[in-house]
Amino acid sequence: MQSTPIILLAPGAQTGSANGATMDVSGAEELLVFLHRTTASGTITAFSVFVETSDDGGSTWSELCADSLVTTTGAAADVTATKDKRNLVTETTLTSTDLKALARYSNFGSKVRVRWLLTGTTPSETFGVNAIIKS
C-alpha cells in the first residue's frame, strides 16, 4: 500500500469559520488525518473541525464519520479514543491550547476538504491539518 502525504490546511491562525482547499483522493482506500492546534485565544463559544467529502467533484459536501479518532489535550495522559465520530474537535470553551487529533477514514468520495466552525468574542485558533492517503 502506497502512502502519500497531503496538507489539508497549512498551520496558521484562524479567526472565523471557513473551508480548506479541495483535495483529490481518487483511488485512495484509507485516509489518516492529523490535526494539531498550538495556540488559542479570545472567548471561544464554538470550535469544531470536520473532514468533508464530495462524490460529485466538489459541488456538494457531506461530513465524514471517522472509523476511529484519538485526541490528546495538554498532558499526554489526557487521551480520548472514540469510534464513529464525525468531528475531529468539538469545544464550547477553551480547554487546552495544545490539542492533537488523529482520525482514520475508510469511506469517502473522490474529493475531501477540512471545514471548521469558530465563533466567539475575538476568537483565534492556530492549527493545521495534514493527511496521509493510502492507496
C-alpha cell at 54: 464530495
Cell 492546534 locates to: 37
* Structural domains of the chain sorted by starting position, each given as residue range(s) with its CATH number in brackets: 3-134 (2.60.120.380)
**Averaged pLDDT for residues 3-15:** 96
Q: Which residues of 83-94 are buried (b: 16+ CB within 10 A; e: fewer)?
A: eebbbbbebeeb
Q: Give residue-wise pLDDT tens across range 34-88.
A: 999 988 888 888 899 999 999 888 999 999 998 888 887 765 556 666 666 777 8
Write the single-letter amino acid at 116: W
**Averaged pLDDT for residues 113-130:** 94
Q: Give residue-wise pLDDT tens across range 80-119.
A: 666 667 778 877 776 667 888 899 999 999 999 999 999 9
**Averaged pLDDT for residues 21-25:** 94
Write the single-letter amino acid at 11: P
Beta bridge partners of residue 113, listed in sequence order? 52
